[in-house]
Amino acid sequence: MTRRQLLTLLSAILLSVTSYAQNSELRGFVYDKASGEPLSFATVLVDGQAAGTLTDNDGLYSLTGLESGNFKVYAIVVGYDTVYYPIELKKGQIVTQNIYLNRVTQLLGEARVDRERIRRTTTTSISEINITPKQLTQIPTVGGEPDLVQYLQVLPGVVFSGDQGGQLYIRGGSPIMNKVLLDGMTIYNPFHSIGLFSVFDSDILKSVDVYSAGFSAEYGGRVSAIIDVQTRDGNRSEMAGKVNVNPFTSKVLLEGPLKKYEENKGSSSFIVSYKNSYLNKTSPIFYSYVKDAELPYSFSDLYTKLSFNSASGSYLKLFYFNYNDLVDFSGTTSYNWGSTGFGGKFLLVPQESKNVIDGFFAFSDYNIEQLQERSTPRTSGINGFNMGLNFTYFLKNKSKLKYGMEINGFKTLFKIYNAANREITQDENTTELTGFVNYNYVLENRFIFEPGFRIQRYASLGNTSYEPRIRLKLLISKRLRFKAAGGLYSQNLLSASSDRDVVNLFYGFLSGPDELPSYVGDKKVTHRMQTSRHIVGGFEYDVNPVSNINIEGYAKDFTQVSNINRDKIYDDNLRYADKPEFLRKDYVVETGLAYGFDITYKLQTKSLYVWTVYSYNNVSRYDGIRTYQPHFDRRHNINVVTSYAFGKDKSFEANLRWNFGSGFPFTLTQGFYENLDFGQGGWQDYTTANGDFTVMYDDLNKGRLPYYHRLDMSLKKTIVFKKVDDEPRKFMEFIASATNVYNRRNIFYFDRVSYKRVNQLPILPSLSVSYSF
């Protein structure tokens, strides 16, 4: 985008803004009258005017360009009654009117709230999946307790590398290329070492938005994907909680009001969640048959949140977390990491201003250490702060302008040794400054156009990234919609693990290093950032009111990617200045290409839920010497999820998930030989000396592992002791589940030296019991 084009775009936006400045504006929040919870994606209309809009995740709505006079405003939410509120609109004034709705206990037929259907027809929603707490319960989970990481595995374009130390790879991007946000704060390691559990308690989640490609200018700092996790407030009306126990984990959750909710008055609440895993203690008892792999895993997760809500809709939310993880392979190696942080987010709704202001502030500290027998420890840490301030200006016909800024400062500490026993260290402070503008334009409910622009200033690198973005959707008919997106992306951080590592529990971080090679192939390296370009397009089709098909194709061009240099054998000094850079630099620069497509079918009724995904992915990297497929290049991936509720009051629920994936790349073995290093000098007698047993490898990742497939199942029984407004208030849940039901021997890795195959986890049955009140 040229400077002239950018100025033209900004001028059009400002003209659109000022053209409605003298009309009436109506705004407010839509709440559940009994609990005070905001109702997102409610349809808000003014009787007698054509204007209409939807509430956001905070329940906020804004209608602009309204005619003056006396009218009535109302909101439509399936499952709630409709209440009309009289309003008087005056030219050039902002009128505030909150709407409180009562839940309807008896619904006709299959009536339900379909938030996703509303999102699809009112937002660009390309390469975007919204996950609700209800969906997390509709998939079989390890131990029976729902967990976000297990649901992420069934999303389009997502590849999961394994049960132990597994990581998520999203449409060709490695884990370090995916930013995970918790209420606006970056979480550096959101998944525990066993790979089956995340640090998030599913019972405190409000929503999770996953952007797998082509995300808007509102997000940045990563070159592949965004996972935006939002937590809910504590109960504003009464004390509540949950206790859960299963062979893998246990959990305690407690929530309640600090100041009880009353209509049109302020309130405050708290929520505390603690869960821990004792698998290293229970596995010898319940899973002693696991022979190919130990289960020496344990972790603990603490999260607490305070929420203060005003009568006008403004709020302040404060949170604190402490996550810990320990893996101890007796006699060989151990890993432990800890992550601690605190912060807050706020929303300001000024009475006389057309802007709504939101922001966040946070500090976090993450450290990991690996201890090995007869080897030097490996350590990594990252700590720092981030804060941001955003402004939203609502326009006519559901259009809006959002702009903001963010400051991110952190320090990285890092020390490892590569395979050639060469030390790689870093101790660096980094500052990032960001500004963005995003314009969402809706034309007659048929065309949604979302241009944006983001500036990322990496102060410590001395580089600035200018990143135009665009997203659009054309509603061809009531059922069929076309969508597309594209943009430029950048990031600073790189992983302490190379993309060539198949299994690595050491998850550390580095800032963009100075010691990069001068060229990648014949292309000169001119900056220290990692960069990419995205393009994605596809169709949505509503088969009927309860099912839809989504087809998307994508391409990600990773124009510069930095990695740890696993080939380094010389120190980078004058003595070895004549050696090639790839043999003496700490880091390598690569380029890459990822492309593919996904086909998703979803069906949801009152009793049945079906989710089916086929993904094709093709990922390659070029390091200046060779083109290779990284170890997560899974070409074909299929996920089938079903959930069926039955019995009296739908108290039984059966869930099933089947996953099929083609084999990962791996490096073949050509042979073995005895390696003599002549440590005693050239006169050493090689005929009697004993060398090291050494593997001779083939070219990188030319082989393919066997196909992977696994079936998980669960059966849940709910016993309700008390209901309020036809909603369970006190109840117990019993979940019997089994992972890898037909005990498929999926390969994890092959130990070449001992010539032993190590498999993924075998069948793991479990029983989970929980009590909620």
- Judged against a pLDDT cut of 50, whether residue 96 lies above it is answered with yes
Q: Is the pLDDT of residue 296 over 90?
A: no
- Tell me the CA distances in angstroms from 593 to 21, 78, 678, one per residue in order: 46, 44, 42
- What is the per-residue pLDDT across 404-444, written as a single tens digit (0 to 9) for each? 999 999 998 888 766 556 667 778 889 999 999 999 998 87
pLDDT value of residue 2: 56
Confidence of residue 566 (pLDDT cuts 50, 70, 90): confident
756 or 639: which leads in pLDDT: 639
Residue 107 has pLDDT above 80, yes or no: no
pLDDT for 209 equals: 94
- Confidence at residue 396, expressed as pLDDT on a 0 to 100 scale: 77
Q: Cβ contacts of residue 80 below 8 Å, gap of 6+?
A: 32, 39, 101, 102, 103, 104
Distance CA 57, CA 207 (A): 9
| pLDDT at residue number 443 | 86
Distance CA 149, CA 773 (A): 26
- Residue 473 contacts residue 448 (beta carbons within 8 Å): yes
Cβ(55)–Cβ(77) below 8 Å: no
At 692-709, the pLDDT tens digits run 778 888 888 999 999 999
Does pLDDT of 109 surpass 70? no
- Residue 510: closest CA among 435, 598, 416, 388: 416
> 390, 358 in Cβ contact below 8 A?
yes
- Greatest CA separation found in the chain? 103
Is it the case that residue 254 has pLDDT exceeding 50? yes
pLDDT at 506: 78
Q: Is residue 308 very low, low, confident or very high in pLDDT (cuts 50, 70, 90)?
A: very high
Residue % of the chain over a pLDDT of 70: 91
Closest CA to 37 of 316, 347, 398, 313: 313
Report the alpha-carbon distance of residue 356 to residue 348 in Å, rounded: 6
* Model confidence band, residue 17 (pLDDT cutoffs 50, 70, 90): very low
Average pLDDT over residues 741-749: 90
Per-residue confidence (pLDDT) for residue 247, from 0 to 100:
93
- Nearest Cα neighbor of 673 from 692, 686, 648, 650 is 692
Residue 531 — pLDDT band, cuts 50, 70, 90? very high
Q: What is the mean pLDDT of residues 723-738?
A: 89
Residue 587 has pLDDT above 50, yes or no: yes
pLDDT (tens digit per residue) in 618-660? 999 998 888 999 999 999 999 999 999 999 889 999 999 999 9
- In the prediction, which pLDDT does 679 show? 64
The pLDDT of 189-217, averaged and rounded, is 92
Reported as a single tens digit per residue, the pLDDT across 29-65 is: 999 988 889 998 888 989 888 777 888 889 999 888 8
The most confident of 103-117, 495-509, 621-635, by mean pLDDT: 621-635
- Inform me whether the pLDDT recorded for 82 exceeds 80: yes
Higher pLDDT, 460 or 480: 480
| 231-235, 372-376, 410-414: segment of lowest average pLDDT | 372-376
By the 8 A CB rule, do 400 and 449 touch? no
Mean pLDDT of the chain: 87
- Residue 112: the pLDDT is 44
Q: Please tell me whether the overall predicted TM-score, pTM, comes out greater than 0.85 for this model.
A: yes
- Copy the structure tokens of residue 311: 């009568």
**Per-residue confidence band for 353, with pLDDT thresholds at 50, 70 and 90:** confident
Quick check: 170 pLDDT over 60?
yes
Give the mean model confidence (pLDDT) for residues 201-219. 95
pLDDT-derived band at 246 (thresholds 50, 70, 90) equals very high
